[in-house]
Amino acid sequence: MKDIFTVLGYDIGGTKLGIGLVRSDGRLLGQARIENKDTRPEEILPQMAESGRRLIAAAGLDANGIRAVGISAPCPADIPNGVLTAPTNNPHWRNVPVKQYLAAQFGVEAYFDNDANAGVLAEWFFGAGRGAQNLVYLTMSSGIGGGIIANGRLVQGASYHAGEIGHMVLTPDGPVCSCGLRGCYEAYCGGIAVARRVQRELAGQIEHPIVKFAGGKLADIDLIAIEKAVRAGNSYAAALWDEFCRRNAQAYGMLMNILNPEKIILGTIAWAAGELFMEPVLKYVPHFAWRETYEACEIVPSQLRREIGCYAGAAVAFNQLHEGGEFGF
């Protein structure tokens, strides 16, 4: 490990924006959050800069106390230039030069990448991926995003679209995905897609346990309500959950055979549902992977869990500094 230094990271989301002040030894010096639902960049960008300055001051650092700024951002985005082009959940953010703005505000280099890549970097540097040279991270929440480390380097691809794991097609005649393809992994296992399927199938069944666990509102059904119904012993929920786990296992097996990773690190659903999710997944995975790739890989939940947003933006900067020889871990 070289001399310890500090990075300021931003994790831009559709409803909230997280900020983390992180040292190169993994210590989180401070964190903040800004509400980001239905906002405009001209009001939020100055808040981002001011919140960052407050965190720096609160940590006892002077204005020159950070080495770089890192930004984790939703897609679509212009990654090389650090521009938020048209994020789906932020309709007023169009062609916003976030990297350029923050670099100018803090007088340091700023680095920018998509949120799934930032997630795999955070787990690699500070979480469940430490020590591995080949790993995959999956977001596993409302949608499914992916980040890939291969032979000790982040895989970005020819057009910076590597890691769109949620849009691997599992069955070509499957359900229509939000991306326009049919049978995508996300169309089977993304939280929003699963919820919409259940809403269709339970239309009019207001007494069904899943609906009750959603507060009696069909529109509020989500994976949490489904999980509760599974634990309560509902047969429909149990069959749905089994199919959900089997489809996830299919995707993990594909990743094992394609990438031969040491670890596949799973986001929200894996640590939130625990063994209810992990046990059937691990049972099914051997049906979808060669023994050699399966035995070489460990499937684990995220170690950073809810704190991953505090580290994600900073991890983008740490990776660039690592590739430049300034940061060892």
Does the residue 186 lie in any domain? yes
pTM above the 0.85 mark? yes
Q: Which of 113, 141, 125 is nearest to 306 (CA)?
A: 141
Does 111 share its domain with 136?
Answer: no
What pLDDT is stored for residue 1 in this prediction?
Answer: 47
Domain-located, residue 316: yes
- Residue numbers of the chain with a pLDDT score lower than 50: 1
For residue 41, the domain's CATH number is 3.30.420.40
Q: How many domains does the chain have?
A: 2
Whether residues 158 and 253 fall in one domain: yes
Assess if residue 271 is contained within a domain: yes
Domain co-membership, 285 together with 193: yes
214 shares a domain with 138: yes
On whether both 38 and 91 belong to a single domain, the answer is yes
Instruction: State how far the Cα of 61 lies from the Cα of 277, in Å rounded to an integer.
Output: 43
Three-class DSSP category at 115 = helix
Radius of gyration of the chain (CA): 20
What pLDDT score was predicted for residue 2? 66
Q: Is the same domain home to 313 and 273?
A: no
The whole-angstrom separation of Cα 231 and Cα 277 is 11
What would the two tokens of residue 300 be? Answer: 């684990």
Same domain, 117 and 132: no
Residue 75: the pLDDT is 87
- For residue 67, the enclosing domain spans 6-123+307-323
Q: Are residues 79 and 228 in the same domain?
A: no
Query: 255 and 109 in one domain?
Result: no
